[in-house]
């Protein structure tokens, strides 16, 4: 039987609490499902950053065989004027840092513009999980938004990131 695979988000101190998510909202604090609390802040000059958001693929039930060949990608266009979405992956969890409600520390992991991760140029994620195990499959994917002075006020449109994996 196929495994039940979900996306989990981590927040807090190492490694923090994990919550199954279906949507990830970029904002300026270290929370899951923040709604409109602590939104991204358009700077008067320079650049502001969202707090990092850390996610991973998790098997809630065991696969019949093995889950491997894990990837993540976008459609190649993030339509947020003045806001760039960066990401990267790492085997080690790091707690988000910054000034709540304003800006965050610049991530040393989330350095690739996710627009470069497309179905033709997927980002490969380290990780595998075999029967009878459950739990974390992939390394951590870290997202961070960079907000410039040209950002447009208001709610940004939803964007889709796709996780892909093989299960045998």
Going residue by residue through the chain, which has 168 residues, state the pLDDT in tens, using 9 for 90 and above: 799 999 999 999 887 789 999 999 999 999 999 989 999 999 999 999 999 999 999 999 999 999 999 999 999 999 999 999 999 999 999 999 999 999 999 999 999 999 999 999 999 999 999 999 999 999 999 999 999 999 998 888 999 999 999 999
Strands 53-59 and 5-11: antiparallel
In a domain? residue 72: yes
Q: Could you list the residue range(s) of the whole structural domain that residue 87 is in?
A: 5-153+163-167
pTM score:
0.96
Strands 83-90 and 140-148: antiparallel
In a domain? residue 123: yes
In a domain? residue 79: yes
List the beta bridge partners of residue 83: 147
- Kindly give, in sequence order, each residue whose CB lies less than 8 Å from that of residue 39, ignoring residues fewer than 6 positions away: 27, 28
In a domain? residue 158: no
Task: At 107, list the tokens.
Answer: 């991530």
Rounded to whole angstroms, the Cα distance separating 130 from 112 reads 30
**Overall domain count for the chain:** 1
In a domain? residue 97: yes
pLDDT computed for residue 15 by the predictor: 79
């Amino acid at each position: 039987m196929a495994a039940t695979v979900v996306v989990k988000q981590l927040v807090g101190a190492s490694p923090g609490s994990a919550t199954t998510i279906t949507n990830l909202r970029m904002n300026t604090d270290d929370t899951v499902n923040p709604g409109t609390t602590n939104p991204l802040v358009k700077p008067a000059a320079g650049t502001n950053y969202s707090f990092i958001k850390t996610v991973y693929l998790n098997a809630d039930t065991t696969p019949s065989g093995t889950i491997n060949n894990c990837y993540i990608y976008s459609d190649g266009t993030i339509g947020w004027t003045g806001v760039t979405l960066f990401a990267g992956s790492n085997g080690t969890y790091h707690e988000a840092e910054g000034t709540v409600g304003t800006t965050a520390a610049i991530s040393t992991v989330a350095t690739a513009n996710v627009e470069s991760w497309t179905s033709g140029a997927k980002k490969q994620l380290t990780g595998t999980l075999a029967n009878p195990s459950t739990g974390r499959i992939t390394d951590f994917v870290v997202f961070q938004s960079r907000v410039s002075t040209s950002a447009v006020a208001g709610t940004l449109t939803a964007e889709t990131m796709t996780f892909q994996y093989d299960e045998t």
